[in-house]
Amino acid sequence: MKSFVDVKDGVVPSVCSLDCPDQCGLLIHKKSGKIVKIDGDPDHPVTQGNICNKVRNMGERIYDPKRVKTPLKRIGEKGEGKFAPISWEEAIRAITDHWKKLIAEDGPESILPYSFYGNMGLINAEGMDRRFFHRLGSSQLDRTICSVAGGKGYSYTMGGSFGTDPEEMTETKLFIIWGINAVSTNMHQMTIAQKARKNGAKIVVIDVHKNQTGRMADWFIPIIPGTDAALALGIMHILFNEQLVDRLFLETYTVGAQELEMHVKDYTPERVSEITGVPESDIYKLARMYGTTSPSMIRIGNGLQHHDNGGMIVRTIACLPALTGQWLVKGGGALKSNSGYLAHNTTALQRPDLMNGRPRTINMNQLGSALLEMEKPIRSLFVYNSNPAVVAPEANKVRKGLAREDLFTIVHDLFITETAMYADIVLPATSAFENTDFYTSYWHHYIHLHEPVIAPIGESKSNTEVFRLLAEAMGFDEQAFKDSDEELISQALSGSDNPHLAGISYEELRKSRFMRARHTDNLVDRLKTPSGKIELFSKKMEEDGHPPLPVHVPLVKESDYPFLFVPAPNHNFLNSTFSNNEKHMKLEKAPKLFMNAADAERLGIEDGEVVRIWNDRGECELPVSIGDHVLPGVVVSQGLWSDAAGKKHLVNSLTPDRLADMGGGATFFSGRVNVEKTV
């Protein structure tokens, strides 16, 4: 078969590689070998030809003249961004010579990989790289920045990442979109909800910010940040009191219903209203709506878990569908992540057996401290698929660490990111369009194969290729480092004990490009908790040092600064990706700080005025947007804007690197700040 790269004029299939739940099927239009248009694939069963503007304009990024085209070495000061081209041979030799010296002096733990999901392709994001760093015996990275706290919280209740199937949500009659800006971050969720609305469904949005998603709701419920568990417990209180619970379901499929019923007596609507800022009458209205509408579906977003108490919030909300028996109703239930359905054979792909001993593990949310404060210092950092100088909390600490003269930093990326500015060596990365890989959605049930649609730009290389080269130069002669991309995919898809993957293989995927996870309708099959039931009371949580019943735990009061600060993502960037592309910046216009009119008036701040936002960790300057889109005492920004060219837009200079209650998760949204006029 002719490769898609060789198609000069025509349309070839692809899939979106970005860290977005939708994982859209794409069609790439080519002219004279170049991408001229990116469209949705109308044959994709879930995304059905619609895609976001970010990716429609992805061509701008792929062919951006700023792309790194050759390896580079630093010739200026760290942070200055002065580099000179070198060959791949020189680059790999410089890195591995340096590492061999460090290993001899300080051991392999002096080296730290830092990566996340700039590319969701599984062999590139967590395949060959994992093999390499396992074999190297470097410090290992705990990848906690995104969804770990909520993932753990949800699992305590439900046993794993299994939720409602989006394809069944056309039947849903009530959508509770809770802590997710779905219009921007999961657009097809909203498309489905709007279709269902035509058949009478209602859309309720619970958020700290009336953003695009809140504006689309039939009912928007503003809430004080970090208090959502209390609201869920207040709903439970009313459901039990008013006999709106499904007793038969509770008896058959849950443990701890009686304990929970007693426990939620304390969460009176009056008390819950005080905690959450939601009026008592609204708590009653919401509970009764939830208790009497079926099918109902709660879309649990990431905003909830980026708090000190984020794990417990998600654990608590995840109890709700059990109370109303929604798990047995088509289109009912909840969806935090569906990644369990497509879980592949990570042992075969990542080969933890290549690791000798048990090297230390470093939490990626605390990169700054790790670079500045470790007794046995990190002396080399290898960054790929991530831009920690912008995305990690306590950014000033991170920058100070990156500026260490004795830290040997390598950054593999498509661009000179804010992180790459501090690199000793920069390696040019291919875009996902230039790679072979496989992709599994954490929202819908499809797995995709991707084959390159264009040739590598310049001398860029994929992650798998770079780690093969590094392995060879380090003298690692195991077959694991010689496996081709196709072999990596085959290995990841075979020998898995996940019954939902039955029948899915590299060969089958080559024929059909995407395949659906096999389904069983039996709820019990998915309840992989210790009891095999939905755990409203969890002994496991008690063993792990958490309250066994869901509770509201207040946020850490880190200071007396008057505002809670929620620096959320925006519509046209994906984390920091696209924040350096002219087109996307233009679409997004300018960063903003949303503030309640009462607060603005008190501070004498006018709409559009640039204000200084600060706390003990750092400061930043943003223009204010005044209105009623946030509650008093809360300020919200959107987007991880670049602070290059002296712009004071680095919101993460203000965010804490405290860890959430579960899994070492991030607490981006639990920081406090002061806001004042700049003059």
In the complex, which residues of this chain contact ligand SF4 (CB under 6 A)? 16, 18, 20, 22-24, 51-52, 54-55, 187
Q: Does 460 bind ligand MGD (CB under 6 A)?
A: no
* Strands of 244-328, DSSP E: 254-255, 296-300
Q: Does 566 bind Mo ion (CB under 5 A)?
A: no
Residue located via tokens 């006018």: 606
- Provide the minimum distance between the beta carbon of 99 and ligand MGD in the complex, in angstroms, as a whole number: 18
Closer of 70 and 252 to ligand MGD (Cβ): 70
Q: Which one of Mo ion, ligand SF4, ligand MGD, none is in contact with 24 (Cβ closer than 5 to 8 A by kind)?
A: ligand SF4
CA proximity to 335, closest of 431, 239, 444, 412: 444
Record the tokens describing residue 131, joined without a space.
């093999």
Instruction: List the helix and strand counts (H, then E) for the chain.
Output: 27, 27
Q: Which residues contact 106 (CB under 8 A, 6 or more apart)?
A: 376, 377, 379
Count of beta carbons in the 10 Å neighbourhood of residue 140: 19
Cα separation, 313 vs 153, in Å, equals 8
Closer of 51 and 193 to ligand SF4 (Cβ): 51
Q: Characterise 120 by phi-psi region: left (phi > 0), alpha (psi -120 to 50), beta (else).
A: alpha
Q: Which one of ligand MGD, Mo ion, ligand SF4, none is in contact with 414 (Cβ closer than 5 to 8 A by kind)?
A: ligand MGD
Q: Does 119 bind ligand MGD (CB under 6 A)?
A: yes
CA proximity to 173, closest of 213, 202, 214: 202
Closer of 273 and 305 to Mo ion (Cβ): 305
Closer of 293 and 572 to Mo ion (Cβ): 572
The region of 89-97, 304-312, 350-358, 513-521 touching ligand MGD under the rule CB under 6 A is 304-312
Judge whether 464 and 128 are in contact, CB under 8 Å: yes
Closer of 496 and 580 to ligand MGD (Cβ): 580
Torsion, Cα 5 28 120 96, to 10 degrees, reads: 30
Query: Total residues contacting Mo ion (rule CB under 5 A)?
Result: 1
Binding ligand MGD by CB under 6 A: which of 116, 290, 442, 537? 116
Count of beta carbons in the 10 Å neighbourhood of residue 194: 13
Closer of 125 and 541 to ligand SF4 (Cβ): 125
Binding ligand MGD by CB under 6 A: which of 109, 165, 413, 535? 413
Count of beta carbons in the 10 Å neighbourhood of residue 547: 14
- Provide the minimum distance between the beta carbon of 19 and ligand MGD in the complex, in angstroms, as a whole number: 4
CA distances 255 to 297, 333, 412, 534, Å, are 21, 17, 48, 6
Binding ligand MGD by CB under 6 A: which of 130, 202, 344, 412? 412
- Provide the minimum distance between the beta carbon of 18 and ligand SF4 in the complex, in angstroms, as a whole number: 4
DSSP line for 559-601: ---SEEEEEE--SS-BTTBTTT-HHHHHHH----EEEEHHHHH
Closer of 18 and 564 to ligand SF4 (Cβ): 18
Q: Which one of Mo ion, ligand SF4, ligand MGD, none is in contact with 55 (Cβ closer than 5 to 8 A by kind)?
A: ligand SF4
Binding ligand MGD by CB under 6 A: which of 137, 159, 256, 303? 303
Q: Of residues 120-149, which lie at the interface with Mo ion (CB under 5 A)?
A: 146
Closer of 211 and 296 to Mo ion (Cβ): 211
CA proximity to 635, closest of 614, 618, 657, 662: 614
* Strands of 266-414, DSSP E: 296-300, 333-335, 361-363, 380-384, 408-413
Strand bridging mode 361-363 / 140-142: parallel
Q: Which one of ligand MGD, Mo ion, ligand SF4, none is in contact with 51 (Cβ closer than 5 to 8 A by kind)?
A: ligand SF4
Q: Does 261 bind ligand MGD (CB under 6 A)?
A: no
Closer of 57 and 494 to ligand SF4 (Cβ): 57
Q: Does 228 bind ligand MGD (CB under 6 A)?
A: yes
Which three-class secondary structure string do you get for 4-63? HHHCCCEEEEEECCCCCCCCCEEEEEEECCEEEEEEECCCCCCCCCCCCHHHHCHHHHHC
Q: Does 640 bind Mo ion (CB under 5 A)?
A: no
In the sheet with 202-207, reading across from the earlier edge strand, the strands are 219-222, 202-207, 174-178, 296-300, 333-335
SS3 state at 424: coil
- Provide the minimum distance between the beta carbon of 117 and ligand SF4 in the complex, in angstroms, as a whole number: 12
Residue 585, CB-side half-sphere exposure with 13 Å CA sphere: 9
Q: Of residues 345-384, which lie at the interface with ligand MGD (CB under 6 A)?
A: 384
Query: Total residues contacting ligand MGD (rule CB under 6 A)?
Result: 60
- Provide the minimum distance between the beta carbon of 536 and ligand MGD in the complex, in angstroms, as a whole number: 22
Q: Does 464 bind ligand MGD (CB under 6 A)?
A: no
Closer of 109 and 657 to Mo ion (Cβ): 657
- Provide the minimum distance between the beta carbon of 350 and ligand SF4 in the complex, in angstroms, as a whole number: 24
Burial category of 167 from C-beta neighbours within 10 Å (exposed 0-12, middle 13-18, buried 19 and up): middle
Closer of 180 and 201 to Mo ion (Cβ): 180
Closer of 119 and 440 to ligand MGD (Cβ): 119
- Provide the minimum distance between the beta carbon of 182 and ligand MGD in the complex, in angstroms, as a whole number: 6
- Provide the minimum distance between the beta carbon of 7 and ligand SF4 in the complex, in angstroms, as a whole number: 21
- Provide the minimum distance between the beta carbon of 579 and ligand MGD in the complex, in angstroms, as a whole number: 8
Closer of 209 and 399 to ligand MGD (Cβ): 209
Q: Does 470 bind ligand MGD (CB under 6 A)?
A: no
Helical ranges in 363-437 per DSSP H: 367-373, 388-391, 395-402
Q: Which one of Mo ion, ligand MGD, ligand SF4, none is in contact with 239 (Cβ closer than 5 to 8 A by kind)?
A: none
Judge whether 574 and 20 are in contact, CB under 8 Å: yes
Binding ligand MGD by CB under 6 A: which of 23, 155, 172, 184? 184
Q: Which one of ligand SF4, ligand MGD, Mo ion, none is in contact with 206 (Cβ closer than 5 to 8 A by kind)?
A: ligand MGD
CA proximity to 574, closest of 387, 364, 338: 387
Q: Which residues contact 209 (CB under 8 A, 6 or more apart)?
A: 181, 566, 568, 594, 629, 630, 634, 636
Residue type, 553: V
Helix (H) or strand (E) holding 122: helix 122-126
Closer of 27 and 51 to ligand SF4 (Cβ): 51
Q: Which residue is nearest to Mo ion (CB)?
A: 146
Closer of 111 and 146 to Mo ion (Cβ): 146
Buried/exposed 607-617: b ≥16 CB within 10 Å, e otherwise: eeeebbbbbeb
Helix (H) or strand (E) holding 141: strand 140-142
Judge whether 428 and 71 are in contact, CB under 8 Å: yes
Q: Does 283 bind ligand MGD (CB under 6 A)?
A: no
Q: How many Å separate Cα 164 from the centre of its chain?
A: 19
- Provide the minimum distance between the beta carbon of 40 and ligand SF4 in the complex, in angstroms, as a whole number: 7
Contacts to Mo ion by CB under 5 A: 146
Contacts to ligand MGD by CB under 6 A: 19-20, 116-119, 124, 145-146, 178-181, 184-185, 206-209, 211, 223, 225-226, 228, 301-304, 306-307, 384-387, 391, 412-415, 417, 429, 432, 463, 566-569, 571, 573-577, 636, 640, 651-652, 655, 668-669
